[in-house]
Amino acid sequence: MTTQTPDRYEALAPDVSPTTLPRTYTPTQRKKRWGDRKDGRRVRTVYAMNKFMPFIMPQRCDAQNTFAETLDVTRADAFIKEMIAAGYENFSFLHVMLAAYVRTVSQKPGINRFISGQRIYARNNIEVVMTIKKELTQESPDTCIKVYFEPDDTIEEIYEKFNAVVEKEKQNAELGSDFDKTANTLASFPRPILRFVVRLLNWMDYHGWLPKFLTGVSPFHGSMIITSMGSLGIKPIYHHIYNFGNLPIFVSYGIKRTVKEHQADGDYKTRRLIDLKVVTDERICDGYYFASAFKLMRRFAENPALMQKRPEEVFEDID
């Protein structure tokens, strides 16, 4: 990863529209090889230990690592207020977190890998999954949405893409997303048939034979799933990742809190903090890589103005 100096990531001038910035990244066109999947290409040059780990820990629940972090969102709060004043209605810390993740993937693509069939794959897309409610009431049904991003998206583009999907689902009278329709169909089967169908889907997924339309609607297939406990007024939780599918990262963040720190000169400094809980599939990359990626993600989340410009370079995963 190349090191960027702060002045190269200064906020855009008011008369520059981030959505009109030219794209800086063109994905490498790769020929599909034996062993590749519809949703990812097989990573063949990882170390032998990495190839061995999915056989020692065949399920995601075997390989869950938990990670806690506290973010200083003092700058992010000011940035959010500026974005709302500029006309970005309902702009929130969720958009900051999404942008921070996407920008981190552009620099550290290894966190966008997944394990299927006890092999390591580099995902073809950046797919973020989230559960939403039409209304914050107990009676309102849940539905899952999936939003696709490009690695060189700006934070404004991420806001627009995410909000467009959310608004489309909320406008449906009964939150009838493709996921809901598929889930309703499967749930209508008698229990013996449903158990058989789920086993069959697991077997097909193991071999990479699931139809693309199923992985496209499945909330269990994607780059990362994120949930805001802050919208519920509580602290974040460590949320497990699922054995079904191939989601490797679950991010949860909680309510904002204010702390006052005593300074050496006797004064107090007020800081706004958000606690973060992350559960990862440790098999996709080593601890050093994860640590460097999360430090980068923290930097972007705490300084969202850095993401108003496109990254100077986008890195692709190894072969």
CA gap 152, 26 in Å, rounded: 10
pTM: 0.89
- Within a domain: residue 314? no
Query: Which pLDDT score is estimated for 146?
Result: 94
Q: Strands 249-262 and 268-281: what pairing?
A: antiparallel
At 64 the pLDDT is 95
Give the distance, in angstroms, between the CA of residue 41 and the centroid of all CA atoms in the same chain: 19
DSSP state of 266: S
Q: Which pair of tokens denotes residue 122? A: 């580099």
Domain membership flag for residue 101: yes
Could you tell me the sign of the dihedral formed by the alpha carbons of 75, 128, 64, 297, in that order?
negative
Running DSSP on this structure, what letter comes out for residue 112? G
Give the integer Cα–Cα distance in Å for 240 and 116.
Answer: 17
Residue 211's identity, in one-letter code, is P
**Per-residue model confidence (pLDDT) at position 186:** 87
DSSP 206-265: HTT-S-HHHHHH-TTSSSEEEEESGGGTS----PPPPSSS---EEEEEEEEEEEEEE-TT
Contact present, 290 and 281 (Cβ < 8 Å):
no
Domain containing 245 equals 34-308
Distance between CA atoms of residues 204 and 181, nearest Å: 21
Total domain count for the chain? 1
CB-facing half-sphere around the CA of 94: CA atoms within 13 A: 21
- Kindly state the DSSP code that residue 72 receives in the 8-state scheme: E
Report whether 317 contacts 122 (CB < 8 A). Answer: yes
CA pair distance 105, 151, nearest whole angstrom: 7
113-116/119-123 β-pairing: antiparallel
Residue 253 lies in a domain: yes
Q: Which of 152, 179, 154, 183 is nearest to 165 (CA)?
A: 179
Residues 6+ apart with CB under 8 A from 23: 150, 152, 310
| CATH (domain of 169) | 3.30.559.10
Three-class SS of residue 80? Answer: helix
Digits of tens for pLDDT over the chain (319 positions)?
A: 333 333 333 444 334 455 558 887 888 888 899 999 999 999 999 999 999 999 999 999 999 999 999 999 999 999 999 999 999 999 999 999 999 999 999 999 999 999 999 999 999 999 999 988 766 566 566 778 999 999 999 999 999 999 999 888 877 755 566 777 888 888 889 999 999 999 999 999 999 999 998 999 899 999 999 999 988 889 999 999 999 999 999 999 999 999 988 777 878 888 999 999 999 999 999 999 999 999 999 999 999 999 999 999 999 999 9
Q: Is residue 318 part of a domain?
A: no
Element (H, E) at 126: strand 126-133
pLDDT at 7: 35
Measured CA to CA, the distance from residue 249 to residue 180 in angstroms comes to: 23
- Exposed (0-12), middle (13-18) or buried (19+): which is 273, by Cβ within 10 Å? middle
Q: Is 167 helix (H, G, I), strand (E, B) or coil?
A: helix
What is the Cα gyration radius of the chain?
A: 20
